[in-house]
Amino acid sequence: MLCAISRFLLALALIRSSVAVLAPSPQPTASSAQKDPKLPPWAGQNTQRIPLVNNGGQYLASVRMGRKDPYQIFNLTLSTTIGYTIIAGMSCSACVPNVAPLYNASESESQGFKHMSGDSEQISIGAGVVGGAIVKESCAVATDGGRWWTYDNQTLLVASSGSSIFPDVFNAGSGIVGLGLSAVQTPADSILGQLLATGHNDYVTVAFALDGAQNANGTGKGGELHVLAPDPDAYDLPLAFVKTAALGDGQRPPTVPSTDWAVPMDSWRVTASGGQVNGTSGTVAIVEPFWPEVVVSHSAAVLIYDLIDSSKVVRVDRSENVWSIPCHAKLNFTATFGGVVVVTTEKDLIVPAGDGCESALRSWVDPNMTTYLLGSAFMQNAYIVLTASAAGMSTSIMGFAVRSAPGTVRDWGLHKQEVASVVGNVIGGIILFALSAGAVYMLVKWQRSKRQAPSAQFMNDVVNTPTTVKILGESDEVDSQAWVPFDPHGDPSPRPTPSPSRWGSRLLAPLGGSQYHRIPSGSDYGGWYGAPAPLRKVAMWVTPLGGGRT
């Protein structure tokens, strides 16, 4: 019995160790992330997954404004070089498409939010200028779970009728969500700056998992924006981090209002129909999803399009040369960051235009502009993490990784940590069942062994143990009275003169150790017969079979 209990306790110990191995480790807290430099800056944060819409290569999120019903809800385009959240006001109906709603400041004021008296701002976007009043608003963004993630006291720039906005600035929605840190009056005027100020963290993170698929109307699901922490389902390791680069105003491209989120490339190259162009290490590029194209220097573009027959500059868009290109041409742009290679192919770089095709790989009109622009055509081929530092852009970092292949993890509505928990529970349950069943089997087996007839025990412990039974010879060392004759028709006690007809079977008393069992001399069983000692002491029935066998 003690042996069975020991086995059962051992099984329970194995179960506990198995569950401990399979269960996911607890997430570190935000305070531990600040103390342990080995943890990522977002340790302890829960990922907010924000679904996006792709409209012609611009990516929009659904943003709600106001404290209570009636809320105002808008589709706003993402930008990494704009710091403000910009919204078209009631006086700027010409700023947005006909179907896009306008921001009504009076509704905001009725809920307790006031204009910041006398404050206004103007910023350059593309070839135009956006200007208007500065207000504070309670904002929320739609997440993938049908809920709203709220960020309060957000600064808005309300575009007014005096704005000189280029036609493609608000062509996809009612305004812009700025994810830059600079180009604002104070750091807290930006979303990232506000999160840093109110969250009491040294860092705040957003990550892009963009989807470039579009339908015939040029729209489609745009992937996700991940706020506070990256989504581990969205990328494959390694996730390479690169420090942001500091650029002077002379190297700020004319289509962006700041040089936020500029990063040096390890290398770049373009593979075209007629050969390959390799760029120099350290070339700086700004990552900006607001514009769809990839823009390189004028000198690099000349070398690239010399490799493609029939390619030429056909127009100027904003401050960029647009090149026509054969629709069947080969054109790949490859950039490397921290050892992670990101490839953008002709699928994203060659776009239909009229009767032919144009290239989304453009060049600056200004021959002195050497900063590259990596727009959404590039970004949708990588997982890109922006981690803003409370100390500013100089200590902020960017992460690059290869996008995960589509799989079943997200189809289940689960994420990696949740899947690890489910797998651990399932496997732990299987192990628990198997070990419990084994413990029960051993216990039942032990109980049955106590009830077995001696002949059955003999079969288990002797016959089933391979051995050769042989006659060892005569001996008088054992008293012949050690064998107790058994009367199957009566009491198995010794009889002085038992009837020989009833001596067909004898009960051999239990013997221990490695002794041999002796059949007394002069009987029908004479001689020594040997077998290895049983696993436990048993009582055996010995029956004469004739021919010296029992």
Q: Which residues, at least 6 apart from 425, have a Cβ–Cβ distance to it below 8 Å?
A: 22
Q: Which residue has the tokens 């808008």?
A: 74
What is 313-360 written as a DSSP string?
A: EEEEETTEEEEE--TT--EEEEEEETTEEEEE-HHHHEEEETTEEEES
Q: Which residues, at least 6 apart from 318, have a Cβ–Cβ distance to it below 8 Å?
A: 126, 127, 166, 254, 255
Q: Give pLDDT, residue 494.
A: 45
Domains of the chain: 1-39+415-450 (no CATH), 48-229 (2.40.70.10), 238-383+396-403 (2.40.70.10), 452-550 (no CATH)
CA 527 vs. chain centroid, Å, equals 76
Contact 399, 342 (CB under 8 A): no
What are the 10-residue block averages of pLDDT along the chain, 550 residues in total? 49 45 36 52 92 92 89 94 92 79 79 60 75 88 91 88 61 89 87 86 94 77 94 93 90 92 96 93 95 96 95 94 96 96 96 94 96 96 96 94 66 39 50 64 61 49 42 38 42 43 39 38 37 40 50
Q: Give pLDDT, residue 518.
A: 38
Bridge partners of 340, per DSSP, are 337
According to DSSP, residue 366 is labeled: S
Q: How many CA atoms lie within 13 A of 546 on its CB side?
A: 0
Q: How far, in Å, CA of 45 to CA of 202, rounded?
A: 13
Q: Give pLDDT, residue 519.
A: 37
Q: How far, in Å, CA of 157 to CA of 278, rounded?
A: 42
Burial class (CB in 10 A: 0-12, 13-18, 19+), 358: buried
Helix runs in 78-179, H state only: 105-110
Q: How many CA atoms lie within 13 A of 388 on its CB side?
A: 28
Tell me, what amino acid is at 375?
G
Q: How far, in Å, CA of 148 to CA of 141, rounded?
A: 5
Classify the phi-psi angles of 141: left when phi > 0, otherwise alpha if psi is within -120 to 50, otherwise beta.
beta
Scored b (16 or more CB within 10 A) or e, 362-377 reads bbbeeeebbbbbbbbb
Two tokens, residue 287: 């990552």
